Amino acid sequence: EFQARKAQEVVSTVKKQLATGSPASVKQQYDLLKTAAEIGSEEVTADNVLVTKVGSRLLALVVEHCKVVMDAEKDEFVPAPGLDIPSGGGFAKGKGRGGKESYAFLHEIRYSDQKPSATRARQVGTLRLSEELNDRLSEDVRFYAMKLTPKYGPMVIPPRDWESPNNGGYLISRARMMRTRPYPLQKSLLESADLKQIYGGLNALGKQPWKINTRVLDVAETLWNRGGAVAKLISRTDHELLTKEAYFEKRVSEGVSLEEIDREYRKKKVEITKGNRELHSERCSTWYKFENAKELKDEEELYFPHNMDFRGRTYPMSTHISHVGDDLSRGLLTFAGPQPEIGREGLYWLKIRLANLTGQDKKPLEERIHAAEDSMKMVFKVALDPLVEESLNWWATKDDPFQLLATCFELERILSGGESNAYAQTSSLPVHQDGSCNGLQHYAALARDGEGGRAVNLVPQETPRDVYTTVLDRVKAKAKKDAADGNENAVLLLPYLTRKAVKQTVMTSVYGVTAFGAKLQIKKQLKALRGTVEPATLSRVADYAARGTLSSLGDLFKHADETRRWLSGSADAISAAGQPVHWITPMGLPCVQPYVKWQTTCVSSTLQGVRLNREVTETDRIHRQRQREAFPPNFIHSLDSTHMLMCASRCREAGLGFSAVHDSFWTLPAHVPMMNRILRQSFVDLHSRKLLSEFWEHFQLCYPFVEFPDFPEHGHLDLKGVLESDYFFD
């Protein structure tokens, strides 16, 4: 109590000083606030106005006093004393060595990028590196990797168990179990909920040991040092733009008017400048990964503490390198810890992994095995010399090149003594088992949708069903009929109607994509049609295709679509009553949708005016549209996260290695058969409960004043078929 009172006195002192606007007291204010935080003032983190004013003043001092000094003779940066930057360079205050001085950082007011629906551009303040400093640092982006240390990274010892919503994960850095800023109702529900099962799943994910795959690291770094731009590595060279004179000369010779050339050049310059900024950002990200991996390559074990969003979807907290990252991140990581002999089944699944990575993932399992064995000669070539042209042209051109490279290394090591001796080898490379359009799998199971369930492999079948191709076939059949009847849109669409054209719309149907959103998605895919028709015609054709796709999807998933509509209607009824939608997952996690119409506070600061979103309160107005549109996908995500956490806990209890990226479950090759049994049984256990009835009862109990839409009809899908379905996850 004494500490709390003392902290409040300190905060009050700082507030009085801020009211006087005295710049001289900023250092003192900062020290006082630090003291207040150490002795326990909640207001230090809660008062955003106070933080904004202090932070703004500190930024103003940075802009005013941080300078860079160029060597007057060599036009190079003069290193500031004590700053260790590769190849020189640095910051300095005042002039030095007779050089010229310029500001290191610039504060600017810019217009933010707007969505197509925006009617008025929004101004935002930015703090950026000056051109002089940025040009120098761009030459050696290791500066960023070496000097800018993220708060959260991999651990070299197992993380602390989660024991409460604010206690777990890292040993020193504080973290919350729920990464989003929770709605007040969610805070109170979390404090009173029994979260033992949730903690168990998170702890199982965090306790999985990893290590750096040094063979992949060596190859990746070699390609990066050569300039990148291969195996999906970003290029280390900026896009070049012809000088204005050269560009004008070239285009004039082609008969283009000066006015048109000037317009073209300015547009290209903006595009290339923006592209180069993006390249620089991606280079820095890549360097972070390499520096992180090199720093940790000798560690026997690494760990990734996990937390979750408000729906229960889990994420590793490490900033730059983790298995949730891109192909490079995944290729650089492999499991650590005890590994069983791979055995016949483990080798079988490692070959399936190879086939999946080489584009055979839609074929029956036995065809994938044949494809993998046919590729084995190339696998050995790649593993023995991955950097020769023939090898690079094979592995580096695939969708996930570094994961494929890691698989080649592993198979060559295991099979180098012959297949008969391979079964006694061990393997640390995780094999992935991915859901078949997992959101629709949960919808079909919820609604017991027989036809929809068959389309997403919830029943045993000799060959895997591809829901995107199934929907495409239906759209094509309708378009052919309409074309025969003289429908111009159908005639124009048919030559360009492909699986890729409808895939994104089918995939995002789980997220409640609208007809307009589907139209934009398909329009983007109809690139070949774009140059042959007028923009208005292209828009009409895309609209026709979008409506046909959504209609075919609704017919295929009749009961699932009715369930989605019921979820949306229930959320609309709740939000119309001024309440946020909340529910409790089957593992006991309370979920509250935090969508409200933000109330803002304008703060005048040293640099600029700042508009702050106020902390969410119980009295804030509910954002009805977002509550309605977001609930069906959020609800489904809460179920897929429940399924994954159930599997994480059960696999750990069974002694299996396990990790996951949402609906992609990973384990050691030898453990795949047992994990497959666990994930199928867990799905059946989850959906054997009458989940929709449970949630309806929850809604009626929590919102007795709301009139809900009629409960949707169910189909007759037998969930036990999941237990025998080879392609449910594969």
pLDDT at 51 over 60: yes
User: Who wins on pLDDT, 604 or 217?
Assistant: 217
Task: Find where tokens 């329009």 sit.
Answer: 523
| 392 and 459, same domain (yes or no) | no
pLDDT at 43 over 60: no
- The pLDDT tens digits of the residues spanning 383-396 come to 999 999 999 999 99
Residue 346 in any domain: the answer is yes
pLDDT at position 146 is 54
Domain containing residue 411: CATH number: 1.10.287.280
| 485 and 529, same domain (yes or no) | yes
Side-chain-side CA neighbours of 525 within 13 Å: the count stands at 23
Q: How many domains does one find in the chain?
A: 3
Note the pTM of the prediction, 2 decimals: 0.84
| Length of the chain as a residue count | 730
Active site residues: 434, 503, 663
Q: How far apart are CA 683 and CA 728, in angstroms?
A: 10
Residue 291 in any domain: the answer is yes
| 415 and 464, same domain (yes or no) | no
| 423 and 455, same domain (yes or no) | no
Stated as kind and residue range, the H or E segment containing 201 is helix 196-206
Note down the domain range covering 369: 340-427
Backbone angles phi, psi at 312, to 5 degrees: 100, 0
SS3 assignment, position 332:
coil
Residue 262 in any domain: the answer is yes
Domain containing residue 465: CATH number: 1.10.150.20
Confidence of residue 530 (pLDDT cuts 50, 70, 90): confident
Side-chain-side CA neighbours of 645 within 13 Å: the count stands at 28
Q: Which of 556, 589, 614 is the last residue of a domain?
A: 556
| 289 and 362, same domain (yes or no) | no
Q: Which of 556, 573, 588 is the last residue of a domain?
A: 556
Q: Which of 427, 460, 494 is the last residue of a domain?
A: 427
Tokens of 586: 């089957």
Residue 528 in any domain: the answer is yes
| 417 and 455, same domain (yes or no) | no
pLDDT at position 89 is 36
Residue 45 in any domain: the answer is no
Confidence of residue 10 (pLDDT cuts 50, 70, 90): low
| 223 and 293, same domain (yes or no) | yes
- The pLDDT tens digits of the residues spanning 654-670 come to 999 999 999 999 999 99
* Interval 410-439 mean pLDDT: 94
Q: Is the dihedral of CA 510, 511, 514, 518 positive or negative?
A: negative
Stated as kind and residue range, the H or E segment containing 14 is helix 2-20
pLDDT at position 179 is 87
Q: How far apart are CA 199 and CA 483, in angstroms?
A: 56
| 454 and 549, same domain (yes or no) | yes
| 479 and 550, same domain (yes or no) | yes
Q: How far apart are CA 499 and CA 472, in angstroms?
A: 6
Residue 265 in any domain: the answer is yes
pLDDT at position 92 is 37
pLDDT at position 467 is 92
| 223 and 259, same domain (yes or no) | yes
- Among the residue ranges 36-40, 204-208, 276-280, the one predicted with the least confidence is 36-40
Sorted by sequence, the CB contacts under 8 Å of residue 251 that are 6+ apart come out as 260, 261, 264
Average pLDDT of the chain is: 86
Q: How far apart are CA 722 and CA 720, in angstroms?
A: 5
Most confidently modeled range among 47-61, 104-118, 310-324, 601-615: 310-324
Sorted by sequence, the CB contacts under 8 Å of residue 662 that are 6+ apart come out as 313, 438, 640, 641, 644
pLDDT at 298 over 70: yes
Confidence of residue 134 (pLDDT cuts 50, 70, 90): confident
| 541 and 504, same domain (yes or no) | yes
Give CA separation, 404 vs 543, 658, 681, in Å. 38, 20, 30
Q: Are 217 and 297 in contact (CB under 8 A)?
A: yes
Q: Are 441 and 450 in contact (CB under 8 A)?
A: no
SS3 assignment, position 231:
coil
- Among the residue ranges 116-130, 198-212, 511-525, the one predicted with the least confidence is 116-130
Residue 563 in any domain: the answer is no
| 458 and 411, same domain (yes or no) | no
* Interval 201-221 mean pLDDT: 98
> Pairing between strand 167-169 and 67-70?
unpaired
pLDDT at position 20 is 58
Tokens of 678: 């666990």
* Interval 493-508 mean pLDDT: 90
Q: Are 467 and 499 in contact (CB under 8 A)?
A: no
Residue 249 in any domain: the answer is yes
Q: How far apart are CA 341 and CA 222, in angstroms?
A: 32
Q: How far apart are CA 649 and CA 654, in angstroms?
A: 9
